Structure 1
Amino acid sequence: MLDADLEVITRLLPAPPATILDVPCGDGRLAHPLSAAGYEVTGIDISPENVEGQGPRFHQGDLRALPDLGRFDAVLSWGNSFGYTTPAETPATLDGFRRALKPGGRLILESLTVAEAFLTSPISEEASYTFGDITMAAVNRYNPAKSRLESDWTFTDADGHEERASGAHHVHTTGEVVRMLEDAGFTEIELKGADGRKSFALGDHRMIAIAS
């Protein structure tokens, strides 16, 4: 999965040694291999635990109010993070992405939950994922009145300790995504499907917006 993501991402990014802002960067899953490939990557994540010990280019911060770390050739927002911001917060988030770009820079924004992708197949009401020694069990439900996926998560470590959390992922149509990008000041916008080559089509499981 990681190698497949990196293949798509590097195809869409400008060539190394381009400067990249990875937000949210998580624990550096993408930032570290991109750095190894010759990119100058800066990472931002809201979780202090994710960026602690990752190096001087990793910073704790909120994508809804990005710290000013300079201007970049590309902003990468991968990992289906788009939609966790509320409709009221999203305009400022996208404006922050645009302001972080150099003139002519590009935003690469991935979403698995645009309506044309997410609602064309049955929703997994229960799912389980493993990340290293952490298992995450998710219970999902779609709220049609608010157009959002609501989830309860249980995280279990190797010793059996559990932590619980809840969250909501707002589901936008591709047309709404384009309009929000335009409102944020982006003028050239392409929507690609899962492989980053073909234009996005109804039923594709991933949408990648490329905006400049």
Structure 2
Amino acid sequence: MAWYDNFFSGLVQEAWKAAQTDEQTELECDFLNDILELQPGQRVLDVFCGHGRHALELARMGYAVTGVDISPESIEELQRAAEREDLPVEGHLGDFLTTSLGNDYEGAYCLGNSFSFFPHDQMLAFLRKIADHLVSGGQFVADTAMIAESVLPDFQERSWMQIGDITFLMENEYDLQESCINAQLTYLRNGQTLQRQAKHYVYTMAELQRLFSQAGFTVTEKYSNLDGSDFLLGDDRLLLIAQKNG
């Protein structure tokens, strides 16, 4: 069983949702709309879709979106919202690595910092599966805050965050042998305490580019922000754009 199989529920989900704003979602969807260069009606794959904040907004723009997530409560919320608005969104519950997908897609994305969940062999399989379900020339957008050039210059062993009425503590330990961050997460609210453990595998930019190449992609852009700023050492976010090879 993978560490993330039963991770996304309860306070974890509530904290994540509370940390996202409608403005942020709108800006990210505008970014995807510009980068993916799709026409209304074309098919988009949302990898680790969560409760569908991007999938639903892109469907409102006219795209047909398929979302995959391992959280039952997230997929249920996505499907309810799509049915309520009669939006062209299809939710698949399951582990992306083993979930069967249907049609080829003109574009795909993985936003929200779930991109770092896999060790090397699984990461390659993950990228190959995305490539296999993209049409030739299709674009994929990957979002991560766990690339080595972001994490290691100022590694944080302990940090606190207040998200609405939820207090969130992250305690990190870096595994040199695995190039992996083992995180102990604690969520506190009104006397309720929830603890979870997570793993984030850390890749250098060069490693990521080699993995994308092996999976059948060409990396075309590396941004640090939605405004298209180039990614530089120490930037806390990477938006990597890759195109499936013909």
User: Per the shorter chain, which TM-score range?
Assistant: 0.7 to 0.9
After superposition, the C-alpha distances for 1:153-212 in whole angstroms (9 at most, x for unaligned) are 22345x644332101101100000000000111135332222352332222221122111
Q: Tell me whether 1:27 sits opposite 2:23 in the alignment.
A: no
TM-score by length of 2: 0.76
Alpha-carbon offset, residue 91 of structure 1 = 1.0
Q: Tell me whether 1:205 sits opposite 2:236 in the alignment.
A: yes
Of 161, 169, 186, the match for 1:154: 186
Q: Which structure has greater helix proportion?
A: 2
Q: Tell me whether 1:67 sits opposite 2:100 in the alignment.
A: yes
Of 150, 155, 158, the match for 1:125: 158
Partner SS, residue 119 of structure 1: helix
Structure 2, unaligned runs of 5 or more: 1-23, 80-88
Query: Where does 1:1-212 land on structure 2 (aligned, <5 Å)?
Result: 1-17=24-40, 18-55=42-79, 57-123=90-156, 125-130=158-163, 135-156=167-188, 160-195=191-226, 197-212=228-243
- Taking the aligned partners of 1:113 and 1:142, their CA distance within structure 2 comes to 12
Query: What amino acid does structure 2 have at the position aligned with 1:152?
Result: Q
Structure 1, unaligned runs of 5 or more: none
Query: What amino acid does structure 2 have at the position aligned with 1:121?
Result: D
Query: What amino acid does structure 2 have at the position aligned with 1:141?
Result: E
- Taking the aligned partners of 1:68 and 1:196, their CA distance within structure 2 comes to 32
Partner SS, residue 78 of structure 2: coil
- Taking the aligned partners of 1:135 and 1:39, their CA distance within structure 2 comes to 37
After superposition, the C-alpha distances for 1:105-139 in whole angstroms (9 at most, x for unaligned) are 11111111111122223425123253x76554322
Task: Report the more deviating stretch, 148-157 or 75-84.
Answer: 148-157
Q: CA, structure 1 residues 127+3, in 2 after alignment: closer, same or farther (shift >3 Å)?
A: farther
Query: What amino acid does structure 2 have at the position aligned with 1:147?
Result: S
- Taking the aligned partners of 1:74 and 1:51, their CA distance within structure 2 comes to 20
Partner SS, residue 166 of structure 1: strand
Identical pairs, percent? 30
Query: What amino acid does structure 1 have at the position aligned with 2:208?
Result: V
> Superposition RMSD on alpha carbons, in Å?
2.2
Say if 2:209 and 2:219, in contact at 8 Å, map to a contact too: no
Partner SS, residue 52 of structure 1: helix
Matched residues, number: 210
Partner SS, residue 57 of structure 2: helix
Query: What amino acid does structure 1 have at the position aligned with 2:108?
Result: V
- Taking the aligned partners of 1:208 and 1:128, their CA distance within structure 2 comes to 23
- Taking the aligned partners of 1:101 and 1:86, their CA distance within structure 2 comes to 23
